[in-house]
Chains A and B, each alone.
Chain A
C-alpha cells in the first residue's frame, strides 16, 4: 500500500471504505499518511506525534476506535451563527457564499507581515490529512478528516517578534454575505490562542475535508482547527491573523465571560456552569461516551503544566 494523495478527489463511500482498509493495513505497515491521523487506536500507532491517542473511552472505559463521522453529517450539522442559529439550516443558507477572491492578512507583531491568497497558501504549504475528533461545547462530537497545514509553518514565515505572545484570529466581517451578523453578537467572530498553543503541531489551518475543498458551512475557504479545545475555538472563514502581546478577547468571552473562557480546553472535570461536560454524544452513534481531558490529545498537557485548569477555563 503506497501513499494516497489526500487531495485526490474520491467519492465519500469509496473514500470511507478505503480509509477503513488503510487502518487495517497501517497496523502492519505503519503508513506515513496515517501516522498523523489520530485514528491509530486500533493500529497500535507509535509514530504519531500529531494524532493523539486516537481512542475514546466508551462507558466502562473500554477504548473504542474512532469512526469517521459521515460527510453528510459534517456538512449538514453546523454551528455557524453568521448564517443561522439552527444547525440544520446553515448548509442551505451558506450554499451561495462567495469565497473568491479571499485574502488572509497576517500581521501585528511580526517582522514580515503579508497578505495571502488561498492559492498562495496552498502552494506554500502542502495539505496533509489530519483526522481529528471535534468536541462541541454543547456536548456532541464528530471525527473529521481535515486537510490542512500546521499553523506553525505560516507563523515561522512571518517571523513573530519577541513581544508577540498571543495570536488573534478574525473571521470575515460582512453582514451582506453573513446575514447572522446583523444582530445579536459583537461581530466579527474573534478567537485567540497563546503563541505556544498556536505553534503546536496539532494546530492546523484547514482548507478541506474528506479530500475536498471546504464547503462554506464548514468555514470555507480557510479555518483554524485546534482539536483539544471546544469546537468554537476553531474559528471559521479566517481573514486576519495577528500576533499580539495581550490575551485577545474572543467573541464568546465577550458574550458570556463566566461561561466561556480564553482556553476552552476540553475537560470532563470542568463543567460549563450550566451543564455537565463529563460525557458527549458522538454524532452517528447512539448514547454517550466519556469525554476525555484535552479531547484525548494528551500530548498538549505540557502546555498547561502547573496551570489551574478550573481557573483557566
Chain B
C-alpha cells in the first residue's frame, strides 16, 4: 500500500523461487497473529478481559504490519532486492484487514453498536479520532490498491499512496495516547517510524543508493 514506482506491467512474468518464498512467508507471517488469536478465542485462552485482549491483539498487528509495509521501500533501497517491493502492498492490505477487525470489535463487541456512547463519549477523545482517521486512510489506500485503480488515477495514485506515511504517524499517536502510560515498547515503535520517515527523504535514498553502487 505504500508508494511504489509503478504497478508492475509484466504481471505474467514468472516469479523466481526466492520471490515466491518471500510472498508465502509474508502471507503466513501476516496471518499468524490472527490464527493464534482465533485459536485462543475458541479454546478459552484469552485474558480475563477478553474484549480488551481482542482489541489490543488486532490493533497491534495492524500497526506492526503498517510499519513493515512502509519498510518495504527502504528495504529495496538498502538491499537492492526488488522482490521486496510488492510486500508494501501485501502487508499494507493485511494492516487494513486487522484494522477493520480492530474497529469492528471496538464498535460491535465492546460498545454493542451503542452509537450514543461511541459518538458522545468516545469520539471526543483524541486517540479515538486519530484511530478513525488512520482507518479511513487505510480504507482509501486499500480501495485504490488494484492495478486498475493505479492506472486510472495515474500520477495522483503516487501522491495518494504517500498517505501511508501519514497513516503510520497517526497510528503511532493512536497507540501512544491509548495506553495508560508509555513504555519502552511504544517508544521503540515511534523510533522505528521516525527512521522510516527519514529513510524516505530523497537525499537519504540517493545517498544509500550511491553508497551501494560504489
> Is the beta-carbon distance between A283 and B121 smaller than 8 angstroms?
no
Q: Which residues of A contact B52 (CB under 8 A)?
A: 140, 281
B47 near A88: Cβ-Cβ < 8 Å: yes
B112 contacts the other chain (CB 8 A) = yes
Partner pick for A138 among B122, B126, B180, CB 8 A cutoff: B180
A274 at the binding interface (Cβ < 8 Å): yes
Known A140-B52, A274-B126; judge A287-B110 contact (CB<8 A): yes
Q: Are B109 and A287 in contact (CB under 8 A)?
A: yes
- In the complex, which residue of chain B has the Cβ closest to the Cβ of A59? B114
A278 at the binding interface (Cβ < 8 Å): yes
- Bound-state CA distance A76–B127 (Å) is 29
Interface residue total, chain B, C-beta cutoff 8 A: 23
Give the A-B pair count, Cβ closer than 8 A: 58
B116-159: CB near A (< 8 Å → 1, else 0) gives: 01000110111100000000000000000000000000000000
CA gap between A74 and B135 in the complex, in Å? 35
User: B-facing mask of A72-90, CB < 8 A → 1, else 0?
Assistant: 1100110000000101100
Q: Known contacts A274-B125, A276-B122, A287-B110; is A77 also within 8 Å of B181 by CB?
A: no
Give the docked Cα–Cα distance between A271 and B120 (Å).
12
Q: In the bound complex, how far is the Cα of B173 from the Cα of A80, in angstroms?
A: 26
Proximity string of chain A (229-259) to chain B, C-beta cutoff 8 Å, 1 when within and 0 when not: 0000000000000000000000000011000
What chain A residues lie within 8 Å of B48 (beta carbons)?
A: 72-73, 76-77, 87-88, 283-284
B127-A274 in contact (CB<8A): yes
B110 A77 Cβ-Cβ under 8 A: no
Encoded as 1 (CB less than 8 Å from any A CB) or 0, chain B from 170 to 203 comes to 0000000110110100000000000000000000
Q: Contacts of A88 on B, CB cut-off 8 Å?
A: 47-48
Q: Tally A residues with Cβ within 8 Å of B.
A: 24
Identify the closest chain A residue to B179 (Cβ).
Answer: A274
For the complex, give the distance between the alpha carbons of A244 and B85 in Å: 65
Chain A residue numbers with a CB within 8 Å of B110 are 281, 287-288
When chains A and B are docked, how far (Å) is the Cα of A240 from the Cα of B18? 65
- Contacts A/B (CB < 8 Å), 30 sampled: A59-B112, A73-B48, A77-B47, A87-B47, A87-B48, A88-B47, A138-B180, A256-B181, A271-B125, A274-B125, A274-B126, A274-B127, A274-B177, A275-B125, A275-B127, A276-B124, A279-B111, A279-B117, A279-B121, A281-B49, A281-B110, A283-B48, A283-B49, A286-B50, A286-B51, A287-B109, A287-B110, A287-B112, A288-B110, A288-B111
7 nearest A-B residue pairs (beta carbon) = A77-B48, A276-B121, A278-B121, A73-B48, A287-B112, A283-B48, A140-B49
